[in-house]
Amino acid sequence: ETGVTQTPRHLVMGMTNKKSLKCEQHLGHNAMYWYKQSAKKPLELMFVYSLEERVENNSVPSRFSPECPNSSHLFLHLHTLQPEDSALYLCASSQDIVGNEQFFGPGTRLTVL
């Protein structure tokens, strides 16, 4: 148990659907992250939030829309995705954004048909 939970664990959606991924951390951390993990590629940082403010948007297409309503919760809203967006989406948190160990959730396995 890492203290970071993600729901759902698996999601299959069509290209016209709208869905949301949810992440919750119970560690009292100030920073939260979304990563995309694709086979044989480096982990891709998508978004970083520090104290509920977005500090990094790593050239992510607008069909991915993050939301951080408070320091414990992070959402990733998805709409009109493409099949190449199929991947494992990992959420992580850390005490602060600089030089701290990141604690990862188990990920949401997303398949776009």
Partner 1 sequence: GEDVEQSLFLSVREGDSSVINCTYTDSSSTYLYWYKQEPGAGLQLLTYIFSNMDMKQDQRLTVLLNKKDKHLSLRIADTQTGDSAIYFCAEGSTGGFKTIFGAGTRLFVKA
Which residues make up the interface to partner 1 (CB under 8 A)? 2, 4, 6, 31, 35, 40-43, 45, 48, 50, 55-56, 90-92, 97-99, 101-107
Cα 89 versus chain centre, distance: 6
Residue number with CB closer to partner 1 (16 or 98): 98
User: Which is nearer to partner 1, 83 or 99 (by Cβ)?
Assistant: 99
Q: How far is the CB of 19 from partner 1 (least distance, A)?
A: 20
Contacts of 25 (CB under 8 A, 6+ apart): 3, 4, 5, 32, 72, 74, 91, 93, 103, 105
Q: Which H or E run contains 17? A: none
We find the least distance from the C-beta atom of residue 41 to partner 1, in angstroms, to be: 6
